[in-house]
């Protein structure tokens, strides 16, 4: 990662956020995650990208922890806001069942469609956080 041109911390995290939201929206919630993807693959890649763009060979512990936290947070946000777009996810079915018990009939598709603006807003907000962190230079 450190030798690839054009790979920055922000680009890597934004690409992973988009991937995570898209796969969660398709119902593929277990295709990635903290244990399978973040800890062994994404976090080390993010650390290497961050180190190469700041020009230091070894980050201090505090900066490395911040990079790992952003990687884990990106996974959580992508999954949480992406999965509500999928029709057959438990949260959508729970809301439909609860509303039906109280006399309100709602189709699962309508709830899923209304989750799309929220997922887009979450992508924009977290994407801005990633960009701000990526532009900030660590203090020596």
> Residue 18 is encoded by which pair of tokens?
């988009």
Closest CA to 60 of 47, 69, 44, 70: 47
Does residue 53 form part of some domain? yes
Residues 6+ apart with CB under 8 A from 72: 34, 38, 43
d(CA 108, CA 105): 10
pLDDT: which is higher, 140 or 31? 31
> Is position 45 within any domain?
yes
* Radius of gyration of the CA atoms of the chain, in A: 18
User: Domain containing 68: what range?
Assistant: 9-135
CA 71 to chain centre: 8
In a domain, 46, yes or no: yes
In a domain, 26, yes or no: yes
pTM for this model (two decimals): 0.88
C-alpha torsion 13→15→16→19, nearest 10: 160
Cα-based angle 71, 29, 7 (whole degrees, multiple of 5): 35
Q: Considering its fold, how many domains does the chain have in total?
A: 1
52 pLDDT band, cuts 50/70/90, is confident
Q: Is residue 54 part of a domain?
A: yes
3-class secondary structure, 104: coil
Q: Work out the widest C-alpha separation in the chain, in whole angstroms.
A: 61
Report yes or no on 3 lying in a domain: no
Structure confidence by residue, pLDDT tens digits, 56-67: 777 788 889 999
Note whether residue 65 is domain-resident.
yes
Across the chain, mean pLDDT equals 90
Residue 35 in domain:
yes
Q: Check residue 14 and give its pLDDT.
A: 96
Q: Quick one: 105 exposed, middle or buried, by C-beta within 10 A (0-12, 13-18, 19+)?
A: exposed
């Amino acid at each position: 990662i450190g030798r690839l041109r054009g790979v920055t911390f922000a680009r890597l995290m934004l690409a992973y956020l988009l991937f995570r939201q898209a796969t969660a929206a398709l119902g593929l919630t277990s295709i990635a995650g903290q244990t399978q993807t973040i800890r062994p693959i994404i976090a080390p890649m993010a650390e290497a990208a961050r180190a190469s763009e700041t020009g230091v060979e070894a980050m201090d512990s505090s900066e490395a922890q911040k990079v790992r936290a952003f990687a884990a947070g990106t996974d959580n946000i992508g999954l949480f806001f992406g999965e509500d777009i999928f029709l057959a996810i438990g949260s959508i079915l729970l809301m439909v069942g609860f509303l039906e018990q109280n006399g309100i009939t709602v189709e699962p598709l309508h709830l899923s469609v209304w989750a799309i603006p929220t997922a887009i807003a979450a992508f924009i907000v977290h994407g801005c956080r990633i960009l701000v962190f990526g532009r900030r230079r660590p203090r020596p």
